[in-house]
Amino acid sequence: MRDALLVLLSTVGFQPQGYRTAEEFLAREESSRPACLVVDVRLPGMSGLELHNHLVSRGALPATVIITGHGDIPMAVAALKAGVLDFVTKPFDPAALLDSVRNALRHADENGRRKAMTDESDARLKSLTPREAAILDLLVQGHPSKVIAAKLDISVRTIEHHRAHIMEKMDVRTLSQLIKVVLGNAD
């Protein structure tokens, strides 16, 4: 089955890699690039769903398509609740599987972009001084500069100076963009 899947995926331009077990995959895994994981439920050793859950527990965002010849509704529901993108039963239509893989790759790309943006935002937040971080926290809470100045017992002008540095370090132009970045909703 693995060899047949590798051939199918290769014929449409994908560059698949096959592994005999989940443990072999984990030993060779390169998580730096977005990918789709097509995995059978039944594998020697760790199951496909256990592999997916293991990757999630490590902070990965696997775009997983599970295939099985022994699936049932409770198993499919459990897989989908765990974040598996599709649950395909054997025998399957090759075109349907390819559609699932394409969808999973789009999902993986989106997750990769989102993670890169989050990592960049986290690095920018860490570059703030303690005073800038305190001011940012109060800005995000919705306090105007006058209130922040009073709370921190500094001048409004100093607040505006720090606010300008915060905006520059966070690479945003408006307060609403700043709040979106801080809350993790950046576009």
Query: Are 2-116 and 127-183 in the same CATH fold?
Result: no
Ramachandran category for residue 3: left, alpha or beta (phi over 0 → left; psi -120 to 50 → alpha): alpha
Could you give the CA distance from residue 21 to residue 43 in angstroms, rounded to a whole number? 6
Percent of the chain at pLDDT > 70 equals 95
pLDDT at 75 over 90: no
What integer pLDDT is reported at residue 103 of this predicted model?
93
Global confidence as pTM: 0.67
Could you give the CA distance from residue 95 to residue 129 in angstroms, rounded to a whole number? 54
Tokens at 137, concatenated:
């926290």
Confidence of residue 30 (pLDDT cuts 50, 70, 90): low
Domain segments of the chain as ranges = 2-116, 127-183
Percent of the chain at pLDDT > 90 equals 51
pLDDT at 101 over 50: yes
Tell me, which fold does domain 2-116 have in CATH? Rossmann fold (3.40.50)
pLDDT at 33 over 70: no
> 127-183 — its CATH code?
1.10.10.10
pLDDT at 177 over 70: yes
Helix (H, G, I), strand (E, B) or coil at 71: coil
Could you give the CA distance from residue 100 to residue 102 in angstroms, rounded to a whole number? 5
pLDDT at 186 over 50: no
Could you give the CA distance from residue 183 to residue 129 in angstroms, rounded to a whole number? 19
